[in-house]
Amino acid sequence: AQSVTQLGSHVSVSEGALVLLRCNYSSSVPPYLFWYVQYPNQGLQLLLKYTTGATLVKGINGFEAEFKKSETSFHLTKPSAHMSDAAEYFCAVQNTGNQFYFGTGTSLTVIP
Amino acid sequence: NAGVMQNPRHLVRRRGQEARLRCSPMKGHSHVYWYRQLPEEGLKFMVYLQKENIIDESGMPKERFSAEFPKEGPSILRIQQVVRGDSAAYFCASSPFRDNQPQHFGDGTRLSIL
């Protein structure tokens, strides 16, 4: 079975600082990888996805993530945090059987 | 271009009653997933369904919980004889049956047990 590990359940950054949210997965074959964002009292929204091709993936709201096969990682970054980025972020893996596995989430706080 | 629709958004039940949560997937999506989320916790997978078929129910509690996705109509998550511990947000997601396509989520049903 797949597993997804998000290091750091809570991350705080200052407004304008770099955002780095970590995600590692376990898989014997390269999976499909996703990042989702959840705002309070809402469902999850897709930020970006990696399937094949370029390993640096750009998503909405200035976020991007890089697939590193050798490190089995898919970390999410944003060069400059904005107050509106405060939310819960989930990394997810999809296997070829169309099943999804989610990490436990990272809560991002942006300090003014 | 409706997304995943869940209803009701909020549901209040007394202990021992039944709760029914509904999920209409996005148009063209034939797969539905149910998740439970508790405060300060991540998403817990419950069940994965295709039309008229349960693909994976490894996350479902063995008793009181059931799910269906009939040929016509929405997917239903049913909780019988609810207890306080069932209070949570329940999310539904749908996807087409194609590799590399993400899940699309509804806004959830927040279940409160009195």
The pLDDT of residue B111 is 97
The pLDDT of residue B98 is 67
Residues of A in contact with B35 (CB under 8 A): 102
Average pLDDT, chain B: 92
Please say whether the beta carbons of B4 and B24 come within 8 A. Answer: yes
- Each residue's pLDDT tens digit, A56-87: 999 999 999 999 988 999 999 999 999 999 99
The pLDDT of residue A35 is 96
Distance CA B14, CA A17 (A): 47
B→A interface, C-beta within 8 Å: 4, 6, 31, 33, 35, 41-43, 45, 48, 55-56, 91, 93, 95, 97-100, 102-108, 110
Q: Is the pLDDT of residue A2 over 60?
A: yes
The pLDDT of residue B75 is 97
For B92, which residue in chain A has the nearest alpha carbon?
A43
Our CA-based measurement puts residue A63 at a distance from the nearest CA of chain B, in whole angstroms, of 17
The pLDDT of residue A40 is 87
Q: Which of A32, A42, A46 is opposite residue B100, by nearest beta carbon?
A: A32
The pLDDT of residue B99 is 66
Distance CA A74, CA B70 (A): 36
- Which stretches of chain B drop beneath a pLDDT of 50? none
The pLDDT of residue B39 is 75
- Each residue's pLDDT tens digit, A5-44: 999 899 999 999 999 999 999 876 667 899 999 998 889 9
Q: Is the pLDDT of residue A90 over 90?
A: yes
